[in-house]
Structure 1
């Protein structure tokens, strides 16, 4: 009776988790990996139900359950690997399934003993979970739930490898007609219930953690550019400067400001100005590394902390950004107008707080603005004499034409 209850409870529990993951994906607007988890528990529920309800003497029972459990396992592994942006080892898993299916067909055809079938299918599941664990181990992510998922996959692989061996030491042979009355079947149901519950709770925890992180990240992002907002930038820069101090690594700060931005808004409207800001933010993002920190700290002002970078290298990076921005076209702005930006660059002095670092870089930005704009200024390369501002002349001409047209 207890076996019957567990046999029915396990698929119902799997359906509950299927609905849970589906709800998380839908209401939380989460990535497709959550759908992978949902699909896995739907397939597991169908597999559990088939194991419990289909005729144990039928030739197709193990083929049906193998297909369903494999689909559930692959969905689970796909979801876990996609969550950390790692490719699933599809080829080896497909080969494992095909080989197991062929050998299983032979075993079903030649003997009524269930034992060989159990060895075959459990070994294939163990191999698949081992591939999944290896894939996760290739990732550098090692947050709490990442470690727990890896541990569960390793435990699942070991469980599938040793469970039939240990059980069949007690029952050397199990006839198909006696399968549901066997010790193995009782152990199977209990093990499936426990492992499914543990895995599901861990994955739900991982999804909730990811959802909270996503909400927090969105609150830290500037909606127009996708870069860090000022609060998030200053929090992250404090952490990175502490790390630079600990590791004795150089770091440099670049402060950038789009030139004549008020005139851009006055002439072409705020939508065109927003487009220019978004373009500048995207340009900067493409020209820095993942280890660097970029933020929009004001209306048209941006900040970049460049990790492991002395001042002269940071100056060169700022020059590349300046040159690339000056070549860009912007929707809503006259084709003959090429916006420019000015930059201040300075290297962090070990032990100094961010506010002093920023004040120094901002003073170099001021020098760039006062000496012609569209240039990069640092301690090693101070501003040259004031040169003509071509963009200003063109903007003045645009303003005169707009006034005449009005």
Structure 2
């Protein structure tokens, strides 16, 4: 077996392994459409390499050559479908169907041309370029591209461009051989199959890494989410709040923290039942989500205690937000409770001091919350520097 034939056989095995890998990822992905389509694409890729090997071993005719070309082009199309699902872009079915049909017709038409013709080689390779360029376009249209997605975009663009370079490579390498059976013995076959292996493996690895990255991100998000309230839990809050504080410090922006606690929550549970207590927590969480803005970080720290980080807000702005939330929530009816029953909350507010960390900021906000509880609940208290001062005119309970 020639070196090119050996690489062709390796490509067959590698394509099959990647197909199996994508299918395995689909089992763990909550959005399995993308890895499934990737798997189907690499299955066709393995079929293509099998047909190619048979063509050159058995000197197949034009019909088999067109079939091989069609299978390879279809594998690229299926990979594009996977990309569209991954990046939540409408699948360009019509565009790919037109490209596919015209390309198959063109491939059939050039079968009678000399094998060393540059025009023949260009017509044969250009459809591969176009189909992978569609994949690049799909990724580029996505607004949710991280750096790794951009790397995949670049790798796919390089893979597409290498097909346009193949006519020149053919000329420089001395042609594709006098017959189909001679192809695998040529330097061009060695170069072409090697490049195909490099780009095919590179694109597949990047796609796999991106899929795994998304799965891990989703698992992390679920582990940092409080299922009852739909807000962040303490773990997620501390991670994101620390990042927010670090960013604000670099930008020279103020940051405020509001900690809230539902008043007499044990009485609510004991009087109306735990289901009503859960509804009170859900109502307060939903209220916090609607009351906070973009960039704010809301969380349920545990039990009936909640926290909100307000990047860009100073103590005055945070105090006003807390008072507005306190007043509005105290008038909010809670499902499952008697019509006249109301649940109130107490709030502690602190502003980040220079060189202060999250733990210190939370401790000062907790002290302010304790002061609000001590003052009769259903009120707001603020922390100023290392001491707690009442907010005049804000106590209502």
State the TM-score, normalized to the length of structure 1. 0.77
Match of 1:294 in 2: 298
Q: How does 1:110-121 map to 2 (within 5 A)?
A: 112-113=112-113, 114-121=120-127
Match of 2:391 in 1: 382
User: Given that residues 56 and 179 in structure 1 are in contact (C-alpha distance below 8 angstroms), is that contact kept between their aligned partners in structure 2?
Assistant: no
Q: How does 1:68-147 map to 2 (within 5 A)?
A: 68-78=74-84, 82=86, 86-88=87-89, 90-91=91-92, 94-95=94-95, 98-99=98-99, 101-102=101-102, 104-106=104-106, 108-109=108-109, 112-113=112-113, 114-132=120-138, 134-135=140-141, 138-139=143-144, 141-142=146-147, 145-146=148-149
Whole-Å separation in 2 of the counterparts to 1:88 and 1:151: 18
Asked if 1:64 is matched to 2:70, the reply is: yes
Whole-Å separation in 2 of the counterparts to 1:190 and 1:350: 58
Match of 2:158 among 155, 162, 168: 155
CA deviation after TM superposition for structure 1 residue 306, in Å: 0.8
User: Given that residues 96 and 127 in structure 1 are in contact (C-alpha distance below 8 angstroms), is that contact kept between their aligned partners in structure 2?
Assistant: no
Match of 1:403 in 2: none
Change (3 A) 1:123 1:165: farther
Q: How does 1:26-65 map to 2 (within 5 A)?
A: 26-27=27-28, 32-53=33-54, 55-58=60-63, 60-61=66-67, 64-65=70-71
CA deviation after TM superposition for structure 1 residue 38, in Å: 2.7
Change (3 A) 1:123 1:325: same
State the TM-score, normalized to the length of structure 2. 0.78
CA deviation after TM superposition for structure 1 residue 53, in Å: 4.4
CA deviation after TM superposition for structure 1 residue 199, in Å: 2.6
Whole-Å separation in 1 of the counterparts to 2:176 and 2:35: 40
Match of 1:344 in 2: 348
Q: How many residues in Structure 1 have an aligned counterpart in Structure 2?
A: 379
Residue ranges of structure 2 left out of the alignment (5+ in a row) = 114-119, 384-388
Change (3 A) 1:46 1:285: farther
Whole-Å separation in 1 of the counterparts to 2:67 and 2:123: 11
CA deviation after TM superposition for structure 1 residue 247, in Å: 1.8
Whole-Å separation in 2 of the counterparts to 1:264 and 1:111: 82
CA deviation after TM superposition for structure 1 residue 190, in Å: 2.9
User: Given that residues 371 and 384 in structure 1 are in contact (C-alpha distance below 8 angstroms), is that contact kept between their aligned partners in structure 2?
Assistant: no
Secondary structure at the residue paired with 1:344? strand
Provide, for residues 288-309 of structure 1, a one-character-per-residue CA deviation record: whole Å limited to 9, x for no partner: 3453322222311111111112
Q: How does 1:168-187 map to 2 (within 5 A)?
A: 168-170=171-173, 177=180, 180-181=183-184, 183=186, 184-187=188-191
Q: Judge which range, 250-259 or 156-165, deviates more.
A: 156-165
Whole-Å separation in 1 of the counterparts to 2:131 and 2:372: 64
CA deviation after TM superposition for structure 1 residue 97, in Å: 5.4
Secondary structure at the residue paired with 1:68? helix
User: Given that residues 40 and 75 in structure 1 are in contact (C-alpha distance below 8 angstroms), is that contact kept between their aligned partners in structure 2?
Assistant: no
Whole-Å separation in 2 of the counterparts to 1:161 and 1:308: 51
Change (3 A) 1:190 1:270: same
CA deviation after TM superposition for structure 1 residue 11, in Å: 3.1
CA deviation after TM superposition for structure 1 residue 255, in Å: 1.0
Match of 1:206 among 210, 215, 218: 210
Match of 2:116 in 1: none
CA deviation after TM superposition for structure 1 residue 248, in Å: 0.8
Secondary structure at the residue paired with 1:297? strand
RMSD value over aligned CA atoms?
3.6
Whole-Å separation in 2 of the counterparts to 1:97 and 1:10: 26
Match of 1:333 in 2: 337
Match of 1:396 in 2: none
